[in-house]
Amino acid sequence: MCRDSVLKILMASQALIQEDRDPVADHQPGCCDVFIDLLRACGLICYVACPPVPSVITRKLAFHPPEKGMTYRIALKSDPEKRFKNIKGCSRDEPVQLVVRNISNGADYIHSEKEVEVFSVTTSNKNELVCIKCTPDSYSSNPAVADQVVLFCQPNSSDLGGFLQPNSMNFVTYANVFETDFYAFDYSGYGFSSGTQGEKNMYADIRAVYDKIRETRPDKKIVIMGYSIGTTAAVDLASSNPEGLAGVVLIAPFTSGLRLFSSKPDKPDTCWADSFTSFDKINRIDTRVLICHGDLDEVIPLAHGMALYEKLKNPVPPLIVHGANHHTILSGKYIQVFTRIAR
């Protein structure tokens, strides 16, 4: 999140300052210390604000993908040891698999072909995305559910490998809970997707994946589910009311980037330099929208979710999860989130 990212940068800067000081001596800062601190502060400001282009500043503050290869790698089924810089280097004719790195013990783990199917999509910005389809053990007997699939937009600081960890609540579990096919993808510049992170790229990413699902599954309607920063991609696409859209689920959404720094998430006027402006788009969504938010969310206050709810054209009662924060709301700890979405 934007505010969270600023705090991380400031904390990292402070950590560098502390490392350079004498860990033993407890002395008053001298002229040199103050000068070095000022230089570091200027360097941080220059990094964020140069060039002074809003989209570039937003990218530096908002997008922090995990280190490539930390949670997974892509591999050819015919040559598992061959390494790739990104999915663009793989031939579309050769089957690809995701080798997940178990974060708890460092071991490699590969989901079965029945559980996870890997494919790629090219966006309008010519970026190649890593995408997956997770298949449930059995499909719902409810005809309404059987006609739908789910497209998930991830939160920041995560990639597909983080949501495919074995022995945890992962995408395969989600598919089984919802009893339907569950699609997910890595944004441009995340994981082994090519390109650079950015707001416009993210919007192009979800549209490309959505269109691919519609092309290959024309008989299915799509429910878009966004989590945290992923809600902005979900709202952007849903606000255009694409053909086949069945519903929208927003988990811990926020009104806009700059409003995260404001005590009034529902302020009517949007600054020209603002980003992720879901507040201005959400009232254009025709289909039903469910908002889920934890009342102890320290990253995105509940007031943001409620401000968006008030602007919905076709709302369903929101789900306020008591005791949940930004990181636990979709962890599996609160089963009511999944039962409510499924219902």
Taking only the tens place, the pLDDT of each residue in 278-310 is 999 999 999 999 999 999 999 999 999 999 999
Domains, the chain, ordered by start: 72-342 (3.40.50.1820)
Please state at what angle helix 54-62 crosses helix 2-20, rounded to 10 degrees. 70
Taking only the tens place, the pLDDT of each residue in 42-80 is 544 444 445 554 545 655 577 889 999 999 999 988 887
Residues taking part in catalysis: 228, 297, 326
Nearest to 228 by CA among 330, 101, 90, 87: 330
Q: What percent of the chain has pLDDT over 70?
A: 82
Taking only the tens place, the pLDDT of each residue in 71-81 is 999 998 888 78
pLDDT band at 83 (very low <50, low <70, confident <90, very high): confident
- The mean pLDDT value for 212-221 works out to 97
Spell out the residues 6+ positions from residue 266 whose beta carbon is closer than 8 angstroms to its own.
255, 279, 303, 307, 310
- Quick one: pLDDT at residue 52? 52
- Report how far residue 281's alpha carbon sits from residue 312's, in angstroms, rounded to the nearest whole number: 10
For the stretch 105-114, contacts whose Cβ atoms lie closer than 8 Å and that sit 24 or more positions apart, written own/partner, are 109/166, 111/164, 111/172
End-to-end CA distance of the chain: 29
CA contacts within 13 A on the Cβ side of 278: 31
Whole-model pTM: value is 0.83
Count of C-beta atoms within a 10 Å radius of residue 47: 12
On average, the pLDDT of the chain sits at: 86
